[in-house]
Amino acid sequence: MTRAWSEVEFAQKVIAYYHQSGRKDLPWQNTQDPYRIWLSEIMLQQTQVKTVIPYYQKFLQAFPSVLDLANAEQDQVLHLWSGLGYYSRARNLHKAAKMIRDEFAGQFPENQAELESLPGIGRSTAGAIAAFAFNKPSAILDGNVKRVLARCFAIEGWYGQTTVLNQLWELSEKLTPNQETAGYNQAMMDLGALVCKRSKPLCQECPLTAHCLAFQQDRVSELPHKKPKKARPAKSVYWLIYLDKQRILLQKRPPSGIWGGLWSLPEVERTEAVKQNYSSARRLPEILHKFSHYDLHITPLLMNKTIEKTMQQEPNMSIMEADSSDWYSLTEPLEELAIGLPTPVTNLLKQLKQTLE
């Protein structure tokens, strides 16, 4: 039999779990420095803890304070983010650091509304910073917390829908205790990440089974409801490889859009109309890169024309910023290129280096 929850009881169970099994030694814990907490919250969005740790440490070494980050060049910031994906997170982090320097006199704001006014900080991230750094009783609702609540309270519907999201926020606000908020929030994230996992949740290890509606009603694999399926859109591009004396031409992408501000190969959309222009170039094996919302099919082409000649024939190359291109020597170690590179570009450059060796 399922007993109805009391808010206090729920919070007590979660906090007890925190004291017993919660994670307490992650590199961003045991600090109340809002900069460090903010950085970890942003890096952890859509990314697992074990992937984040080395990036977090390198980033802090390069930019130990929010002012160091604000004063850095964007290329440097994106370089340290290369491989972590979702690069708008890095661009927003950099923008927000500048705002903290210029509009908040270098002091991290403490209240929820001011935190949410910073680029890249939504309601849940603001709640986490307020709770972890400033001991405020703020609620959070990241992906892990959503899943735990959706299962415990058998919330119907997909949480991309506003009504479902509002319901979850209401629950999270109601359940978050005024005391030990940081421990409670940490435990909710840990429960979602380690116990109430997306697939194969470990219900036998969960402190919430006695009340969890999904568990009691045998609906754990059904909840939370999945996003309704749509066909995934796809886009096809050519990446043009210009080699000259073991140097390769790279171009900086426009500041917004996918991989904004990162360095890539000159890119042209692969349409029927332009195929003919590239028929004499040597095709390398296609690369499939999956973004969250579409698939990108990349065909690298080893060019046998000069860049100037191609630009005359291919006006679409203006996808790139024309004044931001440079030749990079393939004999130099890639790590020494202090610029941001998308993962498929890094992999392709490694392959090309190997073929030239």
> Looking at the chain, how many residues does it have?
357
Say how far apart CA 140 and CA 176 lie, in whole Å.
8
Judge whether 41 counts as a catalytic residue.
Answer: yes
Residues near ligand SF4 (CB under 6 A) are 148, 151-152, 195-196, 201, 203, 206, 208-209, 212, 214-215, 220
DSSP code of residue 227: P
Least Cα distance to 264 among 331, 323, 329, 348 occurs for 348
CA distance 106 to 104: 5
Closer Cβ to ligand SF4, 1 or 273, answer by number: 1
How big is the chain by its Cα radius of gyration, in Å?
Answer: 24
Give the span between the Cα atoms of 55 and 45, in whole angstroms. 13
For 18, counting Cβ atoms within 10 Å of its Cβ (0-12 exposed, 13-18 middle, 19+ buried), the class is buried
Is the Cβ of residue 10 or residue 328 nearer to ligand SF4 in the bound state? 10
- Tokens representing 205 are 């290890």
CA angle in degrees (0–180, nearest 5) for 230-172-15: 125
Give me the amino acid identity at 36.
R
Compute the distance between CA of residue 261 and CA of residue 109 in angstroms, rounded to an integer.
27
First to last CA, the chain: 68
Tell me the catalytic residues.
41
